[in-house]
């Protein structure tokens, strides 16, 4: 827990310092002046903070994932048959997908899970839990690995970052526009003052909820594409076998690493599905069963 808190604080400090320097270089200061709201300055401010924060997080994603989960990298020459097979399988799948070789790792956890992350196709990581290796047959593990390699091939990490950055910027921009409009209807002396900051905070919270629903919806769509891509790489039977095994072990997903939520395999049900980054496994299985592969 202490390590995760430290990494969280370190990442946010790096984001704040970097973006503060960028805004200083651009000469963007206050966006509310004597003549009212400076839309251009506000747009630059929101774009830098929204997109900048997302891209800094992307650049740190592989490093953060390895340290948050305690991933041990493997090179295919460990002398342990299971781990060497794992590396060889990722190598073969990435060659089929015409991708640079990602880092491959294992992290110690009873959860049955895997994830792919990284800032680009040439700087990616595929990691699986020790629980997944214990719970699955090799053909099922191959289906999971193919799914993760498909995420890399589809450029999902960068696409999600772009979408998250746009949503962050939009939420910041709209919250400040609305807050300024509300303040303008009241005391002119209070524009940009303490009460406006509180209104901005509340608006960002509310608008952020709707923004998270949009990004979660897109994330669910990318899971269907990754399932299709995984079936193309490893075979439909292996991909379906992997999903069915995951469905049978759905309770063995570690909820502690919230920063890796979009990288996790399982989804949720009920009204919370609108905020889930993954569709329910039963839905994914049904979609893949009906899919026509090229």
Q: State yes or no: pLDDT of 193 exceeds 50.
A: no
Closest to 118 (Cα-Cα) out of 61, 177, 192: 61
* Alpha-carbon gap, residue 14 to 33, rounded angstroms: 29
* Alpha-carbon gap, residue 54 to 40, rounded angstroms: 21
Range of the domain at 81: 2-290
The mean pLDDT value for 44-61 works out to 85
117-156 confidence digits (pLDDT tens) = 999 999 999 999 999 999 999 999 999 999 999 999 999 9
Question: pLDDT band at 255, cuts 50/70/90?
Answer: very low
Task: Please report the pLDDT score of residue 24 as a whole number.
Answer: 62
The mean pLDDT value for 214-228 works out to 94
Main-chain dihedrals φ then ψ at residue 123, nearest 5 degrees: -135, 55
Task: Please report the pLDDT score of residue 57 as a whole number.
Answer: 84
* Alpha-carbon gap, residue 76 to 87, rounded angstroms: 5
Count the Cβ atoms, other than its own, within 10 Å of residue 36: 11
Question: pLDDT band at 247, cuts 50/70/90?
Answer: confident
Burial tier of 226 (Cβ tally within 10 Å: 0-12, 13-18, 19+): buried
Model pTM score:
0.82
Q: State yes or no: pLDDT of 250 exceeds 70.
A: no
Q: How many domains does the chain have?
A: 1
Tell me the catalytic residues.
Answer: 148
Task: Please report the pLDDT score of residue 33 as a whole number.
Answer: 62
* Alpha-carbon gap, residue 227 to 291, rounded angstroms: 10
Task: Please report the pLDDT score of residue 51 as a whole number.
Answer: 85
Average pLDDT, the chain: 83
The mean-pLDDT minimum among 52-61, 72-81, 218-227, 276-285 falls in 52-61
Closest to 165 (Cα-Cα) out of 65, 275, 19: 19
User: Would you say 131 and 117 are in contact if contact means Cβ atoms under 8 Å apart?
Assistant: no
* Alpha-carbon gap, residue 103 to 148, rounded angstroms: 12
* Alpha-carbon gap, residue 46 to 91, rounded angstroms: 41
The mean pLDDT value for 28-54 works out to 76
């Amino acid at each position: 827990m202490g390590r995760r808190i430290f990494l969280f604080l370190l990442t946010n400090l790096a984001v704040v310092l970097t973006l503060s320097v960028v805004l200083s270089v651009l000469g963007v200061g206050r966006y509310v002046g004597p003549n009212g709201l400076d839309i251009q300055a506000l747009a630059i401010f929101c774009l830098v903070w929204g997109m900048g924060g997302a891209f800094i997080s992307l650049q740190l994603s592989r490093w953060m994932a390895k340290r948050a989960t305690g991933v041990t990298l493997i090179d295919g020459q460990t002398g342990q048959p299971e781990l060497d097979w794992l590396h060889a399988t990722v190598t073969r799948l990435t060659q089929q997908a015409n991708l640079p070789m990602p880092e491959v790792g294992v992290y110690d956890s009873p959860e049955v899970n895997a994830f792919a992350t990284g800032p680009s196709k040439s700087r990616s990581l595929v990691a699986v839990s020790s629980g997944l290796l214990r719970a699955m047959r090799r053909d099922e593990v191959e289906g999971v690995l193919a799914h993760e390699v498909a995420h890399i091939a589809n450029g999902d990490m960068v696409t999600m970052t772009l979408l998250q950055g746009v949503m962050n910027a939009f939420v910041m921009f709209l919250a400040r526009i609305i807050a300024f409009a509300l303040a303008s209807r009241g005391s002119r002396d209070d524009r940009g003052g303490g009460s406006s900051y509180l209104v901005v905070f509340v608006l960002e919270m509310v608008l952020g909820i709707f923004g998270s629903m949009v990004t979660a919806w897109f994330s669910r769509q990318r899971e269907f594409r990754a399932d299709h891509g995984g079936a193309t790489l490893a075979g439909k039977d292996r991909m379906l076998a992997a999903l069915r095994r995951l469905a049978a072990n759905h309770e063995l997903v570690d909820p502690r690493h919230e920063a890796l939520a979009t990288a996790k395999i399982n989804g949720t049900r009920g009204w919370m599905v609108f905020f889930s980054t993954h569709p329910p496994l039963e839905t994914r299985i049904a979609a893949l069963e009906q899919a026509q592969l090229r």
